[in-house]
Amino acid sequence: MKKLAEKIGTEELLVVVGMNQPSILRIMARTFHDGDPSYAGPLAGIALGLNTYHIFELKNMIPAEVWESEMGMYELEIEDKAREEIFQIMTEARRS
Amino acid sequence: MIRYPVIKNCAYCLAHTPDLVRYGSKPRREIAKDPGIEVKMDSLLRNYSEAVCYPPNQTFLGNLSPDELATLPRPWYMNPLASDSDALQKRGLFGEILDQKTFYALLLLADVLSPPLFHMQEGVREKLQRRVAEHHLLKNIPSSNQREVSGMARSESLLPPGLPLRNGEAEYGYFLGDLREEARGDSNLQGPELLENICTKASAALALQWLLHREGIEPGQIDFLISCGEEACGDRYQRGGGGMAKAIGEMCGCLNAAGMDIKNFCAAPVSALVTAGSLVQSGVFKRVAVVGGGSLAKLGMKSQAFLQNNMVILDDTLASMAFLVSEDDQKSPIIRLEQGAVGTVPIGAGSAEEEVFRHYLLKPLENLGLQFRDIDKFAPELQNPEIMEFAGSGDVAMKNYRKIAAMAVRAGQMDKSEMGTWINKIGMPGFAPTQGHIPSAVPYIGHAMEAMKKGEIKRVMFLARASLFLNRCTNLLDGVSFIMERNPALSGK
Amino acid sequence: MLEGKKIMVFGERDDISGKAVCTCLEAAGAEIVYEATACFV
């Protein structure tokens, strides 16, 4: 991933996740933005400055019919408060 | 009237193997990077009594029902069951939890090679043989007559280092792997890979012994065996070639049985049960046993989280199971096998979640003229949430219940607002160790059989998912399901 | 915003599959440069 970011450049590069567990989301978003928080992996100390989004945050940018067939059921599955938490985590991680 | 095959009996067993956790895939990789991890891991291993009194383990063995487990305070590892009835709890309705020493004894019985796969310290082999002789079921397993490598004068330098087998502080010996010239340089036949296969074989044999015992039949009465484990046995020219079913059957003396292995990732047990049912319904075989051994690779899979939190390592237990599928006995639960009753996901369905669930959840219901509310319980992936949640993987059973309920809403059979209450009714907490194929729906079969016997429930749907994409040959994921019903001959009883 | 973007996608089998995320993003004109779906079980 580090190699990919170096090759493509970070300007046009984004990370989009489809994971719903808060602890994993926090680690991933922070890793791509600020470097590996465990200071162990290949991204340790390397701040790529990449922004990470959860796919649910991008709903307005996806054609409605594609969204409905691909994401309709996923949206139903997730409880409202879990969705709010995800939005909050992602916003915070991008701001930091 | 259509005759259906029945699930006549079942068995579920555990083997508490804390000193094998280091040979799980994840711990092995982590220890290679930092040997200090092994020391820390050792300090966080559970003892046997803790594993016995762990409520999800008691549920797996049948001493607690999933509904009872749901009422117990969490975290379960900090709220163990009382150990005063310890003797009773080592055995459950469906099987038992073996201690590590006895499991090592079983491993030795599973070794058929010359020179043997194991080299044990002086006196250990005899000590372990006594364990077997004292065990009410293992004593039925014929001895493999393995001895220490003779003529090698036990000069350690002549042998490759092997994997140390410990029991707490005590060194028991080594797993050497295949010492023969033919195995040299074959990465499929080295210590960890071969030990994984032997663990599958030994743990499955324990479950099969329990199945025979519970059913009260002789091993020779089994016609066919299907193994549904996740191991891949074979050498470099046929990795994953198979043969596990017959290896297990041979160990248990099922001399009249043929067998084969079915591979379908986590969904293999459900695929195997559907196949077994079909073989019986078509009259090809009368009694088919489906067996699944434990996964060494998955021991300690989530251990990193436990190490970080300084808590006991909960994924320290191998699990195994066995089912007997036979002709209708007018008592046991039937497997609905008419056309359209078995849920599958055709290749053309792709990997979009809704399509997958439409095919293996909604379609079978529609084909049988059933509604979601006609199913009393749904059994999806039943991983113990406690192990998953600490690792940030979430409650997998609950995630799957949300998916099932979401499908019911999409099918117009339920309002979104009803999802939560309905899940409470048709759901249950996960209680199986994180052993891949083992938790996949089928741990509930035993409990369902008991509940059907009492007339508490009538119809259960078992839903298994398989991450086919992990094979790197496709992006597909799979789903397989079947419906089990209280035997119609019991209606009114 | 997504048109012409290069995107790395990480999904999870029991949450949202990476493939489903890719299908949505591609429909919005993005290019997928990396996709992985984890299986935590």
Structural domain that includes position B94: 6-326
In this structure, chain A runs to a length of 96
Residue C13's closest chain B neighbor by CA?
A: B467
Residues B480 and B397 in one domain: yes
Share of chain C above pLDDT 90, in %: 93
Q: B209-218, B307-316, B387-396 — which is least confidently predicted?
A: B387-396
Residue among B353, B392, B394 whose CB faces A73 most closely: B353
The SS3 assignment for B336 reads coil
DSSP state, residue B260: E
End position of a domain, from candidates B286, B303, B326: B326
Residues B308 and B418 in one domain: no
Residue among A23, A70, A77 whose CB faces B406 most closely: A77
Whether the per-residue pLDDT at B207 is higher than 80: the answer is yes
Residues B146 and B185 in one domain: yes
**Residues C33, A4: C-beta atoms closer than 8 Å:** yes
Chains touching chain A through at least 3 C-beta pairs below 8 angstroms are B, C
Q: B87-91, B117-121, B241-245 — which is least confidently predicted?
A: B87-91
Residues B26 and B61 in one domain: yes
Q: What is the CATH number of the domain that holds B398?
A: 3.40.47
The Cα-based distances of B450 to B8, B62, B322, B424 in angstroms read 12, 9, 16, 20
Measure the N-to-C terminal CA separation of chain B; round to a whole number of Å: 20
Report which of B284, B214, B275 is spatially closest to residue B245, judged by C-alpha positions: B275
- On whether residue B1 sits in a domain, the answer given is no
Order the strands of the A13-18 sheet from edge to edge. Answer: A52-54, A13-18, C6-12, C31-38
pLDDT digit string, tens, across residues B65-94: 999 999 999 999 999 998 766 555 899 999
Confidence band for B197, pLDDT divided at 50, 70 and 90:
very high
pLDDT digit string, tens, across residues C9-34: 999 999 999 999 999 999 999 999 99
Cα separation, B194 vs B190, whole angstroms: 6
- On whether residue B200 sits in a domain, the answer given is yes
Residues B321 and B353 in one domain: no
Distance from CA of C39 to the nearest CA of A (A): 11
Chain C residues touching residue A14 (CB < 8 angstroms): 5-8, 30
Residues B310 and B380 in one domain: no
Burial of A3 (0-12, 13-18, 19+ CB in 10 A): exposed
Counting the structural domains of chain B, the total is 2
Distance from CA of B403 to the nearest CA of C (A): 9
Confidence band for B210, pLDDT divided at 50, 70 and 90:
very high
pLDDT digit string, tens, across residues B11-53: 999 999 999 999 999 999 999 999 999 999 999 999 999 999 9
Confidence band for B394, pLDDT divided at 50, 70 and 90:
very high
Residues B223 and B352 in one domain: no
pLDDT at B153: 43
Chain A residues touching residue B354 (CB < 8 angstroms): 69, 72-73
**Residues B436, C17: C-beta atoms closer than 8 Å:** no
End position of a domain, from candidates B291, B326, B361: B326
Q: Where are the domains of chain A?
A: 2-95
Share of chain B above pLDDT 90, in %: 89
Higher pLDDT, B62 or B156: B62
**Residues A13, C21: C-beta atoms closer than 8 Å:** no
Distance from CA of C38 to the nearest CA of B (A): 9
pLDDT digit string, tens, across residues B274-298: 999 999 999 999 999 999 999 999 9
Q: Where are the domains of chain C?
A: 6-38
DSSP state, residue B154: T
Chain B residues touching residue A77 (CB < 8 angstroms): 399, 402-403, 405-406
Cα separation, B163 vs B180, whole angstroms: 17
**Residues C41, B383: C-beta atoms closer than 8 Å:** yes
